[in-house]
């Protein structure tokens, strides 16, 4: 039987083989990605990408659990990490534990991810000590877009660098097994990755990280817009548009279904 990658195996990738990660939220895509990725993240970006919310803030625990369970059912090899949604963990380590325990028990995932550095260190330590592996997420943290004043690249002013370093050190010290660096200028991401004892997984944070993650729909070219750091490895938007157009034309021409697509 194929064994899943484990949290210690991912943590051991520091300074070794790059960690390949993508987001996933639907079972059929998860089945395809599983063969290629070390980590599949059920990210709360699914609220924007799959449900049309303007931010990730309206995403509920129930929604994350529904998508997380689907991704776990569709995979056998990748380590599955599920995002803790806004409002489910910030209040206290105890509240975070209850939410994370539901996510772990009801989806079968191997770890959770939460946003925040030094301010979440106590919670990360609390969860880790109780059997819940935590992936941290620092730099641009979309759940705090209201306090940050939007989605802004981090580290453009060097006076912010000590804070980012302190965040990375705090989450590693607290026991996180890896940390997402989002939206960081390369020199900062490179310094943080070099100094941080756990693997850094970058999104818009340069090639200096120990791994990379992208939102699947972005890298497949499904969205109408994507940030500069996204490379479109496919044009699914074009392909789906072409297929839907071809289907519409065949139905209107009554050439679909054909003879061999019909029960006799």
- Catalytic residue (one of 62, 106, 182, 250): 182
Would you state the structure tokens that stand for residue 119, as one six-digit string?
């301010």
43 in contact with Na ion (CB under 5 A): yes
Q: Which residues in the 182-221 window bind Na ion by CB under 5 A? A: none
The DSSP secondary-structure symbol of 260 reads: G
Q: Where are the alpha helices (DSSP H) in the chain?
A: 7-11, 27-33, 46-49, 61-73, 93-107, 121-129, 145-148, 161-174, 186-195, 216-219, 236-252
- For the CA atoms of 74, 137, 211, 27, the dihedral, rounded to the nearest 10 degrees, stands at 10
Nearer to ligand KIV, 50 or 94 (CB): 50
Q: Choosing among ligand KIV, Na ion, none, which partner's interface includes residue 67 (Cβ < 5 to 8 Å by kind)?
A: none
The C-alpha atoms of residue 204 and residue 202 are separated, in whole angstroms, by 6
83 annotated binding-site participant: yes
- Annotated ligand binding at 45? The verdict is yes
Q: How far apart are CA 34 and CA 45, in angstroms?
A: 19
Q: Which is nearer to ligand KIV, 44 or 210 (CB)?
A: 44
Q: Which does 164 bind (CB under 5 to 8 A by kind): Na ion, ligand KIV, none?
A: none
- Looking up tokens 């806004």, which residue turns up? 86
Q: Which does 203 bind (CB under 5 to 8 A by kind): Na ion, ligand KIV, none?
A: ligand KIV
Would you count residue 47 as binding Na ion (CB under 5 A)? no
Is 165 exposed, middle or buried, given 0-12, 13-18 or 19+ CB atoms closer than 10 A?
A: middle
Q: Is 88 annotated as a binding residue?
A: no
Residue 115 assigned ligand-binding role: yes
User: 63 in helix, strand or coil?
Assistant: helix
Residue 182 annotated in active site: yes
Query: Rounded CA gap, 135 and 111, in Å?
Result: 7
**Which residues form the interface with ligand KIV (CB under 6 A)?**
23, 41, 43-45, 83, 137, 180, 182, 203, 213, 215
Residues 73-92 that bind Na ion (CB under 5 A): 83
Binding flag, residue 68, Na ion (CB under 5 A): no
Window of 1-9, 26-34, 43-51, 101-109 that interacts with Na ion by CB under 5 A: 43-51
Nearer to ligand KIV, 3 or 109 (CB): 109
Residues in binding site for Mg(2+): 44, 83, 115
Residues known to be catalytic: 182
Residues in binding site: 44-45, 83, 113, 115
């Amino acid at each position: 039987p194929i064994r899943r990658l484990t949290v210690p195996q991912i943590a051991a990738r520091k300074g070794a083989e790059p960690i390949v990660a993508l987001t996933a939220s639907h079972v059929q895509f998860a089945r395809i990605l599983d063969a290629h990725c070390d980590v599949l993240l059920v990210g709360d970006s699914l609220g924007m990408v799959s449900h049309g919310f303007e931010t990730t803030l309206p995403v509920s625990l129930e929604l994350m659990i529904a998508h997380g369970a689907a991704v776990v059912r569709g995979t056998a090899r990748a380590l599955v990490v599920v995002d803790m949604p806004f409002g489910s963990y910030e209040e206290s380590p105890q509240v975070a534990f209850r939410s994370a325990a539901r996510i772990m028990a009801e989806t079968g995932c191997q770890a959770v991810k939460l946003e925040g550095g030094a301010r979440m260190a106590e919670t990360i330590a609390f969860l880790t000590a109780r059997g819940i592996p935590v992936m941290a997420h620092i730099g641009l943290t979309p759940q705090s877009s209201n306090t940050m004043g939007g989605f802004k690249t981090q580290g453009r002013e060097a006076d912010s660098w000590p804070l980012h370093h302190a965040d990375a050190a705090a989450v590693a010290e607290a026991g996180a097994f890896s940390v997402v660096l989002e939206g960081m200028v390369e020199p900062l991401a490179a310094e943080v990755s070099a100094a941080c004892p756990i693997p850094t997984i970058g999104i818009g944070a340069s090639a200096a990280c120990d791994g990379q993650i992208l939102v699947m729909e972005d890298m497949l070219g499904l969205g109408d817009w994507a940030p500069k750091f996204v490379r479109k490895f496919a044009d699914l938007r074009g392909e789906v548009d072409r297929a839907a157009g071809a289907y519409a034309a065949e139905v209107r021409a009554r050439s679909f279904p054909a003879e061999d697509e019909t029960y006799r």
